[in-house]
Structure 1
């Protein structure tokens, strides 16, 4: 049978979704095709055979459609989306996590390989590393990916997400539009490429962590793109006049020493690199990991131009490599060959949604203290040259300012001003272009994700939308985040349900620094040079909590030390220095027990011999007691145990 006839028949009647063109035959065409089929002496096919499933004789149609209901739908599987999904799920919501790529991780995935930066360093040179869910992921990687493999990192994240019982993960699934019911989102209409399936995900709350924000945009959520005028928010680093420039996307590459001369012939799409006309800040050494500044921005539609920009970026990336290999100025590249080149540029900026508060440069530089703070940042104001490779004479980035201390991010910047059940986290939050130059960093986005995921679960429980949650239940949201090991600057925990707050005394077997009484002061890290910990002077060691009256206990929660002054993220260079490490934090507690005193006798209610998280939780059958004893046996290398917080709940 001729291919023309085959396609006419097989495509007839395909799904009527807006994402694919409709193919169909007129009645005359059908008759003509049937006649041709009957006259085909070699193939005795009938028209109905176009749908025939030979194994069963059934005739399924290819218009696969599913409508599914959840409490929370999260669009985007980068750092922000993963943390949003996990936090919502752990707080009781049934969650769909929808990711348009075959892997999780966003810009940190093996497809792009950007370092998962956060508050890596302040002006004092020290990090103020993020804890909570993003730290759990990084620790999971340290335990299971010591070889620092990016393809393995993809599967570390897959393992981390799929073990959460309240999350259904949909990979290779693009969100195409919002389906509205009044001014709220009723469902997200999605297409899964690999299964040719249309998904309609209905939910009470939606979180757009996709970066570009198509769900929010098609819902009619207000947003802006480009750079604000300096006068609008009193931003000294903004341009005098507003314009459309957005920071660009980057293609990264990697090379490998092959131990012998490796000639390089540039492909036809290569764009010659003008090294003589380039700013001195465009360093060509070290060259092994490529260059973050091979990027292209836009002063118009950066999303619509993405494929054109990608093609151009491929040329620019190969042009830089061609210059290194063939200009004769870098003989050290003789034995090097390209080992990996990204085919998916990493994005920095496009839509920024508008919330009840627009985070701006003065908020960051003045360290504004927000009553509804739920996250923090501290990467420098790092505004990349908007022209990118089209503006080589300018520096690749304008590092406007560094921070003395971390700044707060308010909840009011994480939900839509006009779509009541829409939240967002990541680079698309409610902020100015200049604020984005700092807060776009992935670990900061992850903290925003945990905040909105927790908030979405509370919204479902309270039967309210984000704005009302922030107005009426702000304290409950912050307390839950703090309990889940999120650090909020200037905001100590004050959980009235924590029974340790009612303990008559806390005593330790030994102390080398800090004080055991600090374990219930509300702070989960040392902050601003003030101690908020207790540290033993040897191991084993123990902490004992006493109550003057009996209490019912069923849960003990402990926050131990992972040295937040050192970064544990995956890096392509496996850097080991004063700030970065590839090792499991030696300070992390490995083995410990919990005992309760009942009628004068100690009973063990929990034991962990291979702990892998900073937040350690013991759940046990409710018991009436007057004392708890925590036996600390072993760390991953430190000679002393250090704890920051102990909580107890009935």
Structure 2
């Protein structure tokens, strides 16, 4: 079949935009714009598109070199809760993806009629709403490329200097400093990174880890104890030599669970890559044993199987063309639990993903890749894995036509949580449950209060996972406050933070979903543009004026029927 027009755009735009961006970064010591967006994430793209559409000269700084963040790096089975919250640029994105799959040329590896069309709570390709909530990574990237091209946004390739990332004049950011010394000057800045990397550079307060439940009168925060979801099977021995404590603990197992139920700590929920697998032989790359593979790293897997666990070990949520969005599922799975931080004996951070430099993050990401590839190889090949499990996993391999300039591996690791801004207003579980009022909404969320496991530990002599939370919201979509994306005025007056916003850990577990990121990115850019027009700090933007423009641009601030 001939490639679709969108696929051709993808192939062209990816090469041209990255090459241009690298040339721009190297050729100029300073670039100026009215709105500077740091982060090539989905929310970063939405913010840049909106700012440009409002007539503002806009620069998007691209640390990865590919647009879309997790939405174009494997998270194609969209977590949303209710599509009714979608408006503006976010809705436009999912609609454009839907239109792509109406073209017969888009169906290369399966017939459209063979696609199961299953999404989360709604059809994957919904003819009623004309939205696609399930899609291939390269299609998502092509749509993001198209949106930026149509809006006329300049993309600059570069990463923030994590040691000295900003220039300030009093309470105002004047420039973002990149590795190598290049400066991006601007009037208003938007931190659209998953890590919240502009926060420390701009002198803005932040939190990392889990608050105690008592701090904000919550139920799902802090140490969770032993919950049932994504838990180890009963009876898994924690020691290198079974039943011999003197032999030491298995890799990634902690001696204790830490503090009491609901207590605070600095642990991060686990990360993984969202893999794009396929069982189509002509498009499948066989999983090879990763370099440096150690059987001992998978002893927990073997013992879980010996304790009776047979499935699941990962998800195979289907996207079009017989590809998966493969995520964590089970007690031993894709999440590299505890691999994104290290605490000392007092429970304080020795290092974590957010404290590392770029090289350190690359090492941690490589360890996650090795874990996930090793897990798949083990499940497909190791003699300690029963034959029926090996047969079940055997058909899956990496999709050869995705991430072709990255060895068919996703561009971005799923940083489910990094820094969270500490501002005057904090989104909490009570707001997500509609128990507390929001009078300045800039968007809505609807997904479950969700956190992945943060650690493995010994409880009563066996291995247990701790940190997983899956609490459904039964009172409908909730509003997200403008105040939650604005820093304290005495810290920085021209920065907006649509992802690493002011929120507790458990509230962030719902807010952090990719569609909401796009929604908040657009709203942040709208506020930035109004602040520029009025020459005022972002904290002083009139909410009435902001609301009027958001509604004009089809943002959904209240639930509407689909």
1:169 matched to which residue of 2?
155
Unmatched segments (≥5 aa) in structure 1: 1-61, 122-126, 192-196, 491-524, 527-563, 565-650
Alpha-carbon distance, 1:203 to partner: 1.6
Task: Give the Cα–Cα distance (whole angstroms) in 1 for the partners of residues 194 and 281 of structure 2.
Answer: 41
Q: Say which is worse superposed, 310-319 or 235-244, in terms of deviation.
A: 310-319
Q: Tell me by how many angstroms 1:365 deviates.
A: 1.5
Counterpart position of 2:173: 185
Instruction: Return 96-105 or 307-316, whichever deviates more.
Output: 307-316
How far 1:84 moved relative to its partner? Answer: 1.3
Q: Which has the higher contact order (CA 8 A, sep 6+)?
A: 2
Q: CA deviation at 1:77?
A: 1.7
Match of 1:269? Answer: 292
Q: In structure 1, the residue corresponding to 2:184 is in which secondary structure? A: strand
Per the alignment, residue 419 of structure 1 pairs with 492
1:113 aligns with 2:74: yes
Stretch of structure 1 that moved more, 364-373 or 70-79? 364-373
Q: Is the 8 A contact 1:116 1:442 kept in 2?
A: no
Other-structure match for 1:451: 523
1:478 counterpart = 2:509 = no
- Deviation at residue 319 of structure 1 after TM alignment: 3.0
Shift in Å, 1:252: 3.1
How big is the shift at 1:219?
A: 1.4
Shift of 1:153: 2.7
Matched, 1:294 2:366: no
Residue 404 (structure 1) aligns with: 475
The answer to whether 1:219 aligns with 2:202 is yes
What SS does structure 1 have at the residue aligned with 2:271? Answer: strand
Task: Work out the CA distance in 1 between the residues paired with 2:432 and 2:176.
Answer: 34
Match of 1:399, SS state, is strand
For 2:51 and 2:377, locate their aligned partners in 1 and report how far apart those are by CA, in whole Å: 48
Deviation at 1:95, TM superposition (A): 1.2
Counterpart for residue 95 of structure 2:
139
CA 1:267/1:84 → structure 2, altered by over 3 Å: closer, same or farther?
closer
Q: 2:64 aligns with which of 101, 104, 124?
A: 101
Contact 2:85 2:446 in 1 (8 A): no
Q: 1:320–1:455: structure 2 CA closer, same or farther, 3 Å change rule?
A: same
Paired residue for 2:392? 332
Q: How big is the shift at 1:345? A: 1.8
Residues 6-56 of structure 1, C-alpha deviations (whole Å, 9 max, x = no match): xxxxxxxxxxxxxxxxxxxxxxxxxxxxxxxxxxxxxxxxxxxxxxxxxxx
> Residue 434 of structure 2 contacts residue 475 of structure 2 at CA under 8 Å; is this kept in 1?
no
When you count helix as a share of all residues, which structure comes out higher? 2
Determine if the alignment matches structure 1 residue 78 to structure 2 residue 15: no
Residues 137 and 274 (structure 1 numbering): CA distance in 2 closer, same or farther, change over 3 Å?
same
CA offset digits 1:116-142 (Å, max 9, x no partner): 635334xxxxx4341110111122222
Cα drift, residue 87 of structure 1: 1.7
**Partner residue, 1:246:** 268
Shift of 1:291: 3.0
Distance in 2, Cα, partners of 1:107 & 1:349: 13
Alignment of 1:357 onto 2:425? yes
**Given the two structures, how large is their TM-score scaled by the length of structure 1?**
0.59
Query: What's the CA shift for 1:325?
Result: 1.1
Query: Which of 532, 535, 539 is equivalent to 1:463?
Result: 535
Task: State the secondary structure of the residue aligned to 1:128.
Answer: helix
- TM-align CA RMSD: 3.0
1:617-649 alpha-carbon deviations (Å, 9 max, x no partner): xxxxxxxxxxxxxxxxxxxxxxxxxxxxxxxxx
Change (3 A) 1:356 1:151: same
Change (3 A) 1:343 1:464: closer
Q: 2:457 touches 2:464 (CA, 8 Å); kept in 1? A: no
**Contact 2:88/2:554 (8 A) holds in 1:** yes
Could you list the runs of 5+ residues in structure 2 that have no partner in the other structure? 1-24, 108-134, 223-261, 317-323, 344-348, 400-407
User: Offset of 1:172 from its aligned partner?
Assistant: 4.3
Change (3 A) 1:267 1:369: same
Query: Equivalent residues in 2 for 1:486-565 (5 A)?
Result: 486-489=555-558, 525-526=560-561, 564=562
The two structures have a TM-score, normalised by structure 2, of: 0.68
The 3-state SS of whatever aligns with 1:89 is helix
Q: Using the alignment, how far apart are the partners of 1:453 and 1:335 within structure 2?
A: 45
**Which of 498, 502, 506 lines up with 1:434 in the alignment?**
506
| Matching of residues 9-24 of structure 1 within 5 Å | none
The match for 2:410 among 332, 339, 342 is 342
Supply the distance in 2 between the matched residues of 1:214 and 1:334 (Cα, whole angstroms). Answer: 40
Change (3 A) 1:323 1:67: closer
**1:119–1:128 Cα contact (<8 Å) kept:** no
Q: State whether structure 2 residue 441 is matched by structure 1 residue 366.
A: no
- How far is the alpha carbon of 1:442 from its aligned partner? 0.8
Give the Å deviation of 1:438.
Answer: 0.6
Aligned pair partner of 1:384 in 427, 430, 452: 452
The structure-2 alpha-carbon separation of the partners of 1:357 and 1:487, relative to structure 1 and needing over 3 Å to count, comes to: same
Q: 1:416 offset after TM fit, Å? A: 0.9
Q: Is the 8 A contact 1:420 1:465 kept in 2?
A: yes
Q: How many residues are aligned here?
A: 415
Question: CA offset at residue 422 of structure 1?
Answer: 1.0
Structure 1 position 392, deviation (Å) = 7.0
What is the match of residue 508 of structure 1?
none
- The question of whether the paired residues in 1 share the 8 Å contact of 2:314 and 2:334 is answered with no
Cα displacement (A) at 1:321: 1.1
> Contact conserved, 2:171 with 2:492, CA < 8 A, in 1?
yes
CA distance in 1 between counterparts of 2:276 and 2:533 reads: 48
Contact preservation (8 Å) 2:74, 2:136 = no
Query: Structure 1: how far apart are the matches of 2:158 and 2:100?
Result: 25
Q: Which has the greater radius of gyration?
A: 1
